Structure 1
Protein backbone atom coordinates (compact mmCIF):
# COMPACT_ATOMS: atom_id res chain seq x y z
CA UNK A 1 0.00 0.00 0.00
CA UNK A 2 1.47 3.34 -1.08
CA UNK A 3 0.99 6.38 1.13
CA UNK A 4 1.80 10.04 0.52
CA UNK A 5 4.65 9.54 2.97
CA UNK A 6 6.43 7.54 0.25
CA UNK A 7 6.79 10.63 -1.95
CA UNK A 8 8.38 13.96 -1.13
CA UNK A 9 9.76 16.98 -2.95
CA UNK A 10 13.56 17.03 -2.59
CA UNK A 11 16.25 19.69 -3.23
CA UNK A 12 17.63 19.53 -6.78
CA UNK A 13 21.25 19.63 -5.57
CA UNK A 14 20.79 16.30 -3.76
CA UNK A 15 19.77 14.45 -6.93
CA UNK A 16 22.11 12.83 -9.44
CA UNK A 17 20.40 13.94 -12.66
CA UNK A 18 22.16 11.26 -14.70
CA UNK A 19 21.15 8.29 -12.54
CA UNK A 20 17.83 9.92 -11.57
CA UNK A 21 18.42 9.04 -7.93
CA UNK A 22 18.05 10.96 -4.69
CA UNK A 23 21.52 10.82 -3.10
CA UNK A 24 20.83 12.50 0.25
CA UNK A 25 23.88 14.77 0.04
CA UNK A 26 24.83 17.65 -2.23
CA UNK A 27 26.07 16.55 -5.64
CA UNK A 28 28.63 18.06 -8.04
CA UNK A 29 27.21 21.26 -9.60
CA UNK A 30 27.70 21.15 -13.38
CA UNK A 31 27.40 24.44 -15.26
CA UNK A 32 26.03 24.09 -18.79
CA UNK A 33 25.85 27.54 -20.43
CA UNK A 34 24.82 29.16 -17.15
CA UNK A 35 22.32 26.45 -16.16
CA UNK A 36 23.23 24.25 -13.19
CA UNK A 37 22.68 20.49 -13.24
CA UNK A 38 23.89 17.98 -10.64
CA UNK A 39 25.77 14.72 -10.97
CA UNK A 40 27.48 12.27 -8.64
CA UNK A 41 30.80 11.71 -10.44
CA UNK A 42 33.09 12.83 -13.27
CA UNK A 43 31.23 10.61 -15.78
CA UNK A 44 28.05 12.54 -14.96
CA UNK A 45 29.82 15.84 -15.64
CA UNK A 46 30.63 14.82 -19.22
CA UNK A 47 27.20 13.28 -19.87
CA UNK A 48 25.40 16.43 -18.69
CA UNK A 49 27.73 18.85 -20.50
CA UNK A 50 27.33 16.98 -23.80
CA UNK A 51 23.65 16.11 -23.09
CA UNK A 52 24.33 12.49 -24.03
CA UNK A 53 21.08 10.53 -24.50
CA UNK A 54 19.18 13.80 -23.81
CA UNK A 55 20.13 13.32 -20.14
CA UNK A 56 19.33 16.94 -19.18
CA UNK A 57 15.65 16.26 -19.64
CA UNK A 58 13.20 14.11 -17.72
CA UNK A 59 9.65 13.13 -18.46
CA UNK A 60 6.70 14.29 -16.38
CA UNK A 61 4.90 11.02 -15.43
CA UNK A 62 1.52 12.78 -15.39
CA UNK A 63 1.47 13.80 -19.05
CA UNK A 64 4.78 12.59 -20.53
CA UNK A 65 5.97 16.13 -21.32
CA UNK A 66 9.69 16.88 -21.43
CA UNK A 67 11.06 18.70 -18.36
CA UNK A 68 14.45 20.41 -18.00
CA UNK A 69 15.94 18.76 -14.91
CA UNK A 70 17.78 21.95 -13.87
CA UNK A 71 14.54 23.84 -13.27
CA UNK A 72 12.35 20.87 -12.34
CA UNK A 73 10.47 20.28 -9.13
CA UNK A 74 11.84 16.85 -8.13
CA UNK A 75 9.81 14.25 -6.25
CA UNK A 76 11.53 11.27 -4.65
CA UNK A 77 10.00 7.82 -4.29
CA UNK A 78 11.34 7.11 -0.79
CA UNK A 79 10.87 3.36 -1.13
CA UNK A 80 13.26 3.15 -4.11
CA UNK A 81 15.23 6.42 -4.16
CA UNK A 82 14.22 7.04 -7.77
CA UNK A 83 12.97 10.49 -8.73
CA UNK A 84 10.37 12.09 -10.99
CA UNK A 85 10.65 15.51 -12.66
CA UNK A 86 7.87 18.10 -12.88
CA UNK A 87 7.71 21.51 -14.54
CA UNK A 88 5.60 22.96 -11.71
CA UNK A 89 4.83 22.56 -8.03
CA UNK A 90 1.19 22.02 -9.06
CA UNK A 91 2.11 18.96 -11.14
CA UNK A 92 4.39 17.62 -8.41
CA UNK A 93 1.63 18.00 -5.81
CA UNK A 94 -0.92 16.37 -8.15
CA UNK A 95 1.40 13.40 -8.58
CA UNK A 96 1.90 13.05 -4.81
CA UNK A 97 -1.85 13.33 -4.18
CA UNK A 98 -2.67 10.89 -6.98
CA UNK A 99 -0.30 8.31 -5.50
CA UNK A 100 -1.56 8.44 -1.93
CA UNK A 101 -2.89 4.91 -2.35
Structure 2
Protein backbone atom coordinates (compact mmCIF):
# COMPACT_ATOMS: atom_id res chain seq x y z
CA UNK A 1 0.00 0.00 0.00
CA UNK A 2 2.80 2.36 0.88
CA UNK A 3 4.48 1.63 -2.42
CA UNK A 4 1.34 2.63 -4.32
CA UNK A 5 1.04 5.91 -2.42
CA UNK A 6 4.74 6.60 -2.98
CA UNK A 7 4.40 5.88 -6.69
CA UNK A 8 1.32 8.11 -6.94
CA UNK A 9 3.13 10.95 -5.18
CA UNK A 10 6.17 10.54 -7.40
CA UNK A 11 3.96 10.47 -10.49
CA UNK A 12 2.05 13.59 -9.35
CA UNK A 13 5.34 15.36 -8.64
CA UNK A 14 6.68 14.41 -12.07
CA UNK A 15 3.50 15.64 -13.76
CA UNK A 16 3.80 18.95 -11.89
CA UNK A 17 7.45 19.27 -12.97
CA UNK A 18 6.51 18.48 -16.57
CA UNK A 19 3.78 21.18 -16.52
CA UNK A 20 6.22 23.71 -15.10
CA UNK A 21 8.81 22.83 -17.74
CA UNK A 22 6.13 23.12 -20.41
CA UNK A 23 5.14 26.60 -19.22
CA UNK A 24 8.79 27.68 -19.10
CA UNK A 25 9.36 26.35 -22.61
CA UNK A 26 6.23 28.10 -23.89
CA UNK A 27 7.31 31.36 -22.19
CA UNK A 28 10.77 31.10 -23.75
CA UNK A 29 9.30 30.52 -27.20
CA UNK A 30 6.96 33.52 -26.81
CA UNK A 31 9.89 35.67 -25.73
CA UNK A 32 11.96 34.60 -28.75
CA UNK A 33 9.07 35.26 -31.13
CA UNK A 34 8.50 38.72 -29.60
CA UNK A 35 12.17 39.66 -29.93
CA UNK A 36 12.27 38.31 -33.49
CA UNK A 37 9.22 40.36 -34.49
CA UNK A 38 9.79 43.61 -32.61
CA UNK A 39 13.54 43.65 -31.97
CA UNK A 40 14.52 44.92 -35.43
CA UNK A 41 12.04 47.78 -35.16
CA UNK A 42 13.48 48.88 -31.83
CA UNK A 43 17.07 48.74 -33.05
CA UNK A 44 16.17 50.30 -36.39
CA UNK A 45 15.02 53.56 -34.72
CA UNK A 46 18.50 54.29 -33.45
CA UNK A 47 20.07 53.35 -36.75
CA UNK A 48 17.57 55.51 -38.63
CA UNK A 49 18.39 58.62 -36.57
CA UNK A 50 22.10 57.96 -37.04
CA UNK A 51 21.61 57.60 -40.80
CA UNK A 52 19.58 60.82 -40.98
CA UNK A 53 22.19 62.69 -38.95
CA UNK A 54 25.08 61.33 -41.01
CA UNK A 55 23.49 62.74 -44.18
CA UNK A 56 23.81 66.26 -42.75
CA UNK A 57 27.38 66.32 -41.39
CA UNK A 58 28.91 69.66 -42.34
CA UNK A 59 25.93 70.65 -44.49
CA UNK A 60 23.26 73.26 -43.99
CA UNK A 61 20.19 71.48 -42.72
CA UNK A 62 16.94 72.47 -44.44
CA UNK A 63 14.57 74.34 -42.12
CA UNK A 64 11.72 71.93 -42.86
CA UNK A 65 13.74 68.97 -41.53
CA UNK A 66 14.20 70.49 -38.07
CA UNK A 67 11.95 70.89 -35.07
CA UNK A 68 12.96 74.36 -33.91
CA UNK A 69 11.63 73.66 -30.41
CA UNK A 70 13.33 70.32 -29.74
CA UNK A 71 16.37 71.13 -31.83
CA UNK A 72 16.51 67.80 -33.64
CA UNK A 73 16.45 66.55 -37.21
CA UNK A 74 13.37 64.75 -38.47
CA UNK A 75 13.16 62.12 -41.20
CA UNK A 76 9.95 63.64 -42.55
CA UNK A 77 9.19 67.28 -43.25
CA UNK A 78 8.09 69.25 -40.21
CA UNK A 79 5.09 71.59 -40.03
CA UNK A 80 5.48 75.20 -41.13
CA UNK A 81 4.31 78.17 -39.08
CA UNK A 82 4.42 81.69 -40.52
CA UNK A 83 4.63 84.54 -38.02
CA UNK A 84 4.82 87.89 -39.79
CA UNK A 85 7.63 87.62 -42.32
CA UNK A 86 9.33 84.73 -40.48
CA UNK A 87 8.82 81.01 -41.06
CA UNK A 88 9.31 78.48 -38.26
CA UNK A 89 9.06 74.69 -38.21
CA UNK A 90 7.84 72.31 -35.53
CA UNK A 91 7.32 68.57 -35.39
CA UNK A 92 3.88 68.62 -33.72
CA UNK A 93 1.02 70.89 -32.67
CA UNK A 94 2.51 71.31 -29.20
CA UNK A 95 5.80 72.58 -30.65
CA UNK A 96 3.99 74.84 -33.12
CA UNK A 97 2.02 76.33 -30.23
CA UNK A 98 5.24 77.01 -28.32
CA UNK A 99 6.70 78.71 -31.38
CA UNK A 100 3.54 80.74 -32.01
CA UNK A 101 3.45 82.00 -28.41
CA UNK A 102 7.26 82.21 -28.17
CA UNK A 103 7.19 80.17 -24.95
CA UNK A 104 10.53 80.55 -23.14
CA UNK A 105 11.78 82.67 -26.04
CA UNK A 106 11.86 79.51 -28.22
CA UNK A 107 11.96 81.50 -31.47
CA UNK A 108 15.51 82.50 -30.59
CA UNK A 109 18.78 80.71 -29.98
CA UNK A 110 22.21 81.74 -28.85
CA UNK A 111 24.88 81.44 -31.55
CA UNK A 112 27.36 78.97 -29.98
CA UNK A 113 30.38 80.88 -31.31
CA UNK A 114 29.42 84.44 -30.38
CA UNK A 115 26.70 84.06 -27.77
CA UNK A 116 24.55 86.49 -29.76
CA UNK A 117 20.79 85.84 -29.72
CA UNK A 118 19.54 85.05 -33.22
CA UNK A 119 16.14 84.32 -34.66
CA UNK A 120 15.88 80.63 -35.57
CA UNK A 121 13.91 81.49 -38.73
CA UNK A 122 16.94 83.40 -40.01
CA UNK A 123 19.62 81.05 -38.69
CA UNK A 124 22.02 78.73 -40.41
CA UNK A 125 21.27 75.27 -39.01
CA UNK A 126 24.04 72.72 -38.61
CA UNK A 127 24.37 69.33 -36.99
CA UNK A 128 25.82 69.56 -33.49
CA UNK A 129 29.28 67.94 -33.81
CA UNK A 130 29.25 66.99 -30.13
CA UNK A 131 25.70 65.56 -30.03
CA UNK A 132 24.64 64.31 -33.47
CA UNK A 133 21.02 63.96 -32.35
CA UNK A 134 20.71 67.74 -32.06
CA UNK A 135 21.23 70.82 -34.20
CA UNK A 136 22.78 74.19 -33.50
CA UNK A 137 21.65 77.57 -34.83
CA UNK A 138 24.29 79.96 -36.18
CA UNK A 139 24.16 83.56 -37.35
CA UNK A 140 26.30 82.74 -40.41
CA UNK A 141 28.74 80.31 -41.99
CA UNK A 142 31.49 82.46 -40.51
CA UNK A 143 30.30 81.93 -36.92
CA UNK A 144 29.89 78.20 -37.63
CA UNK A 145 33.53 78.07 -38.81
CA UNK A 146 34.57 79.96 -35.64
CA UNK A 147 32.68 77.43 -33.54
CA UNK A 148 34.42 74.51 -35.25
CA UNK A 149 37.82 76.09 -34.57
CA UNK A 150 36.88 76.59 -30.93
CA UNK A 151 35.82 73.00 -30.32
CA UNK A 152 38.67 71.47 -32.32
CA UNK A 153 41.26 73.42 -30.34
CA UNK A 154 39.95 72.16 -27.00
Counterpart contact for 1:73–1:85, Cα < 8 Å: yes
The 1:98/1:56 distance shift into structure 2, 3 A limit, reads: same
Alignment of 1:13-92 (within 5 A): 13-77=64-128, 79-92=131-144
Shift of 1:97: 4.4
Counterpart contact for 2:107–2:121, Cα < 8 Å: yes
Structure 2: unaligned runs, 5 residues or longer: 1-53
Aligned Cα RMSD in Å?
2.2
TM-score by length of structure 2 reads 0.56
Q: Which has the higher strand share?
A: 1
TM-score by length of structure 1 reads 0.82
Shift of 1:96: 3.3
Shift of 1:7: 4.3
Shift of 1:77: 2.4
Shift of 1:39: 0.2
Q: Which has the higher helix share?
A: 2
Flag the structure with larger Rg.
2
Shift of 1:14: 0.7
